[in-house]
Chain A
């Protein structure tokens, strides 16, 4: 069974601070995706990374896939209150269904 561990589980920071959240596994994934989930809503895809060492930027968000394709990180620069939410990583291999981590719940305080 492939498992994804996300850390930290909870994170509360002041607006303007930088932060990094992590997604780790003992398994190799062919792709890793990051989603954001608001309360009462479904996960919304932020990014997909497929190549070991790949870095993708989405405005203030920087996503990195580990060289061995077992881990990933999400870095947010100058966090805003609108970044508040549950950040989920999900790993896929071929056409097997995505496996999700438990998520990091981020709270950005004004």
Chain B
């Protein structure tokens, strides 16, 4: 069964530091997403990526956030200057398009201290 792989599984960072969360989506998928889940809250959409560019982003995805697909396989989420409220599980997902469901990774637990 193809998987979406996320690294690291846990990251603790100082407030104001930059973090990069990494994802390897399923190889033949075309659509890529980042979602986050603050502890005890619902899964929230951050950004979608298709054809090497952002296709949609939420109001959470402000100028502190950026995404890249640097080498055709990895898909990264960068937070430039982390805030305490960025602490959450960050999930990467990929999809083949149409009505196919998303395949999620196991997530990166980000803790900002």
A contacts, CB < 8 Å to B: 30-31, 33, 35, 40-45, 48, 50, 88, 90, 92, 95-103
Contact = CB atoms under 8 A, between A and B. Distances in A.
A10 B102 CA distance: 25
A42 B107 contact: yes
Tell me the interface secondary structure of chain B in the complex.
Answer: strand
Interface of B: 4, 31, 33, 35, 41-45, 48, 50, 55-56, 89, 91, 93, 97, 99-107, 109
Contacts of B56: 96-97
A41 B107 contact: yes
Contact of B101 (A41, A48, A101): A48
Contacts of A102: 41-42
Closest 3 CB pairs between A and B?
A42-B104, A45-B101, A100-B43
B41 A45 contact: no
A95 B97 CA distance: 7
Nearest to A47: B101
B48 A42 contact: no
A95 B31 contact: yes
B88 to A, nearest CB: 13
Given A48-B99, A50-B99, A95-B97, A43 B41 contact: no
